[in-house]
Structure 1
């Protein structure tokens, strides 16, 4: 029986009395101090580890490599001399921090430099890295830093040029130095070296069908060039009102070029020019009739042909188109067809010897992502290089002379987590497959420039990072470089998340996830469950490496889940079907079916864990996510409201017709059809069950914030109750600090406490 029901500060606590043979409901009421400790957990714990290393960066001469590692108070960048194994600071972190502080206009401290990895430039005298997705270059001799500016004309999601910005029309000099090509009055022109006179090469260019100087590509022998003539696509702009700008009282109106699904994209016509004959020819479009995107032209080293990549609108086909330099005739060097989609962002090709005779090509045609050797003249498969029920994740190096490939793959080792990355070497003919990373963990390998050595950095969620130097010839260990120490972190209360797997909807495929419990977890109590969801088809998302704190660009990972769990929940994260890095069939579940989000697998996973764990209360399940995870969160309450009771959806792309063209046409195809409506939170708003809290940044430049407001409008029309927080000035990350507790995080935590506890 229920003995008391106490309502304090909107948090209801129910005490069970009598002799019921049920686990007690966890009922300690989280206080404001608990919330504060929860939000600050990342900062409190992050600097307790030692010698957790990041992947290495090699000096151009291969004599040393560098990496970041955890030290007292933050992070240090260290360099190892390969010959002596002596260690020294990679650079003067204090001077670099001062230089960045000046350029960024905000304080940067030496032990908290705002990047995790860097690369050396060709001289070894400067490093490059990214801060908030922007490229930077800093010298490590005189410590001068500058943002790397891309001078090319911006393109909305890569397919519609921003014509309000001038193109980069610097003269493109021919390899022999005799000519400079550029565009004048929308037409291609030449200028002989040392002369001022202009020689027109085209006359058919116009404002609505112009030659793009950024696509000029010279043949190595300087006899031909290729350029694209462009018919502009539809310049859709998203308008956002900035209600409370920091530099003025009155609101601002911001505009962003933002193509959406179904919009007309730039139509690029390749044109081949014979410089000496002053002639040109439009390349026949028969092999690329309906392009979503063409890559820039690429000449073969013998100047006999030029090639470009073609992705068909709707993503059902990808090709390499080869063009004969003399005749302009085309043939498909490679053709990849798919009944569902070709995953464009994961395409890989390598032109052996840069001659067009043989091409290394990644394909999922046998149901798994593998490498093939293609005859570049006929497009036929000469042989399949890799084969098996596992996936090639990345190609590191192709050695044309030795006819060998170094690559990363996952799923090859029976009984191991199928997402763990390992590294291998194989011959072009598929023989001599050699494993380089035997440890049962997730690996990131960085090879020396001459491929004779490599640094293997590996870990698991329960194995602190280990970094080792190996010989590439036989993978023998030269030295252990770092071994992570988490003793202080463990003493502070950290426990690695639990790995749990259950069978998916087909009854045979393993679905993997992580379980994070409160620090004061009581196995005799009953805890509400919260799922952290991101189900975007473009990747897998459950962490496999150790570092639990996330990255500047990667969110909070496990520590964010731990902070929420400490408020009295069991928090989990799952990779269901429809995500990447497994079989083609596994990912194909998402095709024209984004509302699925792997929920049939996720719910089975929850039920399987509840069957094994009496503290796991699946009568009280919440869910949260951002971006595509926000869409999945809403869809949980729309399509599975009998299971998920509470959702916090942040910055969601709730209607894929409102979101960016690139991501959505990849998974829902073209033309826009009923599959877009089927996944729409607007069209399905009347199905809402449970408690929904939506959060959106007013200035979200990734997902049109109007998508959130259209769901709001539909929910109101359907007479559905919900909560909404609009963050003025907020971007896609929808977070602003409010005193010692991040406002958005606090509001999300309080919502779950109120609705689930």
Structure 2
């Protein structure tokens, strides 16, 4: 579950296999036109109707960035100069489209729909980007080539001249200009290889490395999975099926994945093994050693001169952290300071919030010891705390930059501004020497920040769930606006009848804590009617149900489902992040909780507030962790929730990867009588309580949450003589890919038929655009 069980872990698709409970519908008969009206509000139709919304910025250097400007005529890639505040076309898109079409075996590309991703500058000043998973390099005059590269993905060095990659369990480097390859390690063997990326739920060919600033050394590890248990998946094919097998440790396993840390000198190919025992394959941030969007190794940071390496070791159950420094020449390791937590330690939200400042013998460290995520300054000579850098209420979520010369930290945080939605992210700077942080983004909105490489300026796209984004370029010293980049226009979206979600606030299970969410109503809403309610749930603990508070024209398919005659609600319950440590720890060790007490009391409060919500007809759905929680809801609150649609759920965390459950449920312990602290969280142990309509959905090749999670539930329901529905998607992984539209339509049908008592149109064809 690393992003709705886990990013990463979100939507998917299926093939039917059913034990139908099918209640007879007695209400309306919906038509294709009704479904087509709902489909207008799905992401692939709604999002393209938002004009001039800057969704991503690619910095080329300290003073130039690229962004995508979209309107009814298509996409334009613009390059802004921060010195002048002027933007101009990045290149002639028609010529680029023609050149790329030639490289793609004559397959034409539309100039206004290029779909470029991750635009960067090469060492010789050309543009590199990916299109549909293929990498290209183009000059400004539209001379395009495919870079010399092998089949293995590479991790680029800071000087952009080399990339590290894995081949046959060993680490290699490839010269970007010539394609020449050099083998760095020779003793890598199967399941004991270098830089391998395998967290169980994720297994890729990416090399997990951290290059030194001068591009001469690589920090990585030799990952030992020789004793780790296996996971198996078998494909559905005509003829002999394909077996997929990989290492996948489970909660409670005696032997789990370990790493042996090494430093490799690239010119000499010398491998230096750090002088310490093998470490746990753990992170301060997520359930993998590589959590961030850049694909790097989050808890490892080089000194600017490359002579020392700082890293953080995490204990198996995430209760203990060790800040350590290694000598890159000798491999000697020194533990500088430690931190422990009664539940689990995390270093922030979105990135590992610690910094290594060897010039002043200091480190910036993140801790929730005060009940709020704050930054602290440590002395590396003594290992003692020097001071708190930030204090008070509110959570530092991401530390974007530390400048040792000016002794300034730039960070994002939530909940620091009184009278504002506590989930709105703001941007600040503060001195390492203490003092009040300076707010750089004053607007009461959610601010998406992209800081320039030199830290002198930042792009700020600010919005709310109901107000589209304004994107500006700001100075990092005081936040003043340098230039307006774009102002979003949603007039085309509004012309379809689109309405924004309604923010809602309710009290949590304790009757005191404010919980925040969004409510979606039909565009033809009639307050004199009674509407069935669908609760969308993702219980966390690493994210919540609502997601970002930035503007989004389509959040999952909430508005589309509402359009079919429902009130759709998403509430971030207690136990989800972005709030206090105590809030986040609400149901530590009790994962069967799943925020359900908050969902129930929150919906009941809304029902009293809004008489048009029919709380005799409440449904619930979710994917991954939400698939677990929605089934759980039917079993723990069978008289409240009447219908559930449960996708790809980790119904028993003993059948999910070790790091996830062992972080949030704790160590698996079994009593003499065979009972364990994991029994209650297992949905199959509550199967006999089912009363309403339950649809279980799973991909048969789900390599994140194995299919066994749902099959355990199926077995238990059959043993309890319960009726239920089952939809299996052949060969689908955790996300259902091409089958996702089919699954969505079936989900609509299920709630229309079983919750609203209406009849859906027969086999409505959802029509997403072809890629």
Same topology, TM > 0.5: yes
Distance in 2, Cα, partners of 1:219 & 1:46:
40
Structure 1 distance, partners of 2:45, 2:264, is 63
Residue equivalent to 1:155: none
Q: What is the TM-score of this pair, normalised by structure 1? A: 0.80
Which residue pairs with 1:254 in the alignment? Answer: 244
1:84-483 correspondence runs (5 A): 84-94=84-94, 109-114=110-115, 118-121=119-122, 124-128=125-129, 136=135, 138-141=137-140, 142-145=143-146, 149-150=152-153, 165-169=168-172, 182-184=184-186, 231-244=224-237, 250-263=240-253, 264-269=255-260, 283-285=275-277, 292=282, 300=303, 305-323=308-326, 330-343=333-346, 346=349, 348=352, 350-355=354-359, 357-483=361-487
Check 1:718–1:280 CA distance in 2 against 1; reply closer, same or farther (3 A cut).
same
Compared with structure 1, are the counterparts of its residues 668 and 58 closer, same or farther at alpha carbon in structure 2 (3 Å cutoff)? same
1:605-616 to structure 2, matched below 5 A, reads: 605-616=602-613
CA deviations 1:456-514 (Å, max 9, x no partner) are 11111111110112233332223322111112222221110000001112222210011
Change (3 A) 1:217 1:744: closer
Tell me, what secondary structure is at the counterpart of 1:12?
Answer: coil
1:401 and 1:688, CA in 2 relative to 1: closer, same or farther beyond 3 A?
same
Partner Cα separation in structure 2 for residue 712 and residue 105 of structure 1: 49
Q: Secondary structure at the match of 1:47?
A: helix
Q: 2:584 corresponds to which residue?
A: 587
Are the counterparts in 2 of residues 183 and 212 from structure 1 also a CA contact under 8 Å?
no
Indicate the residue corresponding to 2:722 in structure 1: 720
Taking a change above 3 Å as real, the CA distance of residues 75 and 571 of structure 1, as seen in their structure-2 partners, is farther
Cα drift, residue 169 of structure 1: 4.7
1:262-319 superposed Cα distances (whole Å, 9 cap, x missing partner): 342344455899999x99997355xx88674787876645677544321101111111
**CA gap 1:532/1:423 in 2 versus in 1, 3 angstroms:** same
Question: Aligned partners of 2:749 and 2:598: how far apart in 1?
Answer: 28
Displacement after TM superposition at 1:696 (Å):
1.1
- 1:217-242 deviation digits (Å, cap 9, x = unpaired): 99999999998676544343322222
- Give the counterpart of 1:655 among 648, 652, 663: 652
Q: Which secondary structure state, in structure 2, belongs to the residue aligned with residue 657 of structure 1?
A: helix
Q: What is the rounded CA distance, in whole Å, between the counterparts of 2:602 and 2:172 in structure 1?
A: 56
Q: Which residue of 1 aligns with 2:601?
A: 604
Q: Aligned partners of 1:225 and 1:602: how far apart in 2?
A: 47
Which of 703, 706, 709 in structure 2 is aligned with 1:707?
709
Distance 2:82 2:275 in 1: 51
CA–CA distance in structure 2, aligned partners of residues 729 and 223 of structure 1: 43
Supply the distance in 2 between the matched residues of 1:271 and 1:514 (Cα, whole angstroms): 47
Q: CA deviation at 1:564?
A: 0.6
Aligned to 1:77: 77
TM-superposed deviation, 1:699: 1.7
Name the CA distance, whole Å, in 1 between partners of 2:33 and 2:567: 20
Q: 2-side partners of 1:241 and 1:67: how far apart?
A: 42
Higher relative contact order (CA 8 A, sep 6+): 2
Show the counterpart of 1:669: 666
Give 1:54's aligned residue: 55
Segment of structure 1 superposing worse, 592-601 or 535-544? 535-544
Shift of 1:74: 4.2
Residue 395 of structure 1 aligns to a residue whose secondary structure is strand
Other structure's SS at 1:492 match = coil
How much has 1:379 moved relative to structure 2? 2.2
Cα deviation for residue 573 of structure 1 reads 0.9
- Kept after mapping to 2: 8 A contact 1:265/1:292: no
After TM superposition, the structure 1 stretch with the greater mean CA deviation from structure 2, 50-59 or 381-390, is 50-59
* SS of residue in 2 equivalent to 1:525: coil
Whether the 8 Å contact between 2:348 and 2:396 is mirrored in structure 1 is no
Verify the 8 A CA contact 1:686 1:720 in the aligned structure 2. yes
Distance 1:44 1:404, change over 3 A: closer
**Structure 2: unaligned runs, 5 residues or longer:** 1-21, 156-164, 176-181, 197-206, 284-288, 290-296, 671-675, 757-771
Pairing partner for 1:678 from 676, 680, 684: 680
CA contact (8 A) 2:652 2:683 kept: yes
CA distance in 1, matches of 2:218, 2:68: 44
Equivalent pair of 1:59/1:124 in contact (CA under 8 Å)? no
- Provide closer, same or farther for how the CA distance between residues 614 and 115 of structure 1 changes in structure 2, counting only shifts above 3 A: farther
The yes-or-no answer on 1:12 pairing with 2:3 is no
1:184 to 1:85, Cα distance in 2 relative to 1, 3 A:
closer
Task: Name the CA distance, whole Å, in 2 between partners of 1:227 and 1:702.
Answer: 24
Which residue pairs with 1:693 in the alignment?
A: 695
| d(CA) in 2 for partners of 1:80, 1:271 | 41
CA RMSD in angstroms comes to 3.9
CA distance in 2, matches of 1:334, 1:104: 57
Report how far residue 355 of structure 1 moved.
Answer: 4.9
Give the conservation status (yes or no) of the 8 Å contact 2:373–2:580. Answer: yes
Distance in 2, Cα, partners of 1:319 & 1:105: 55
Relative to 1, partners in 2 of residues 1:12 and 1:326: Cα closer, same or farther, differing over 3 Å? closer
**Is residue 319–residue 341 contact of structure 2 (8 Å, CA) maintained in 1?**
yes
2:755 aligns with 756
Deviation at 1:256, TM superposition (A): 3.5
Which of residues 563, 566, 590 is equivalent to 2:563? 566
Q: How many residues align?
A: 682
Seen in structure 2, the aligned counterparts of structure 1 residues 60 and 223 have a Cα distance that, compared at 3 Å, is closer
CA separation of 1:221 and 1:343: change in aligned 2, threshold 3 A: closer
Moved more, 585-594 or 32-41: 32-41
Q: Secondary structure at the match of 2:484?
A: strand
- Measure the CA separation in 1 of the matches of 2:72 and 2:264: 61
Structure 2 length normalisation: TM-score?
Answer: 0.79
Q: For 1:473 and 1:92, how far apart are their aligned partners in 2?
A: 35
The answer (yes or no) to whether the contact 1:215–1:297 under 8 Å persists in 2 is no
1:309 counterpart SS class: strand
The answer to whether 1:499 aligns with 2:503 is yes
Structure 1: state its 5+ residue gaps: 1-8, 14-26, 153-161, 173-179, 187-205, 551-556
Moved more, 96-105 or 212-221: 212-221
- 1:209 and 1:149 mapped to 2: Cα distance? 18
Structure with max Cα Rg = 1
1:744 aligns with 2:743: yes
Task: Give the Cα separation in 2 of the matches to 1:224 and 1:60.
Answer: 23
Q: Structure 1 residues 298, 545: closer, same or farther in 2, change over 3 A?
A: closer
| 1:11–1:753 CA contact under 8 A, matched in 2 | no
Output the CA distance in 2 between the equivalents of 1:323 and 1:410.
34
Secondary structure of the 2:627 match is helix
Question: Are residue 513 (structure 1) and residue 506 (structure 2) matched?
Answer: no
Counterpart Cα distance in 1 of 2:701 and 2:249: 17
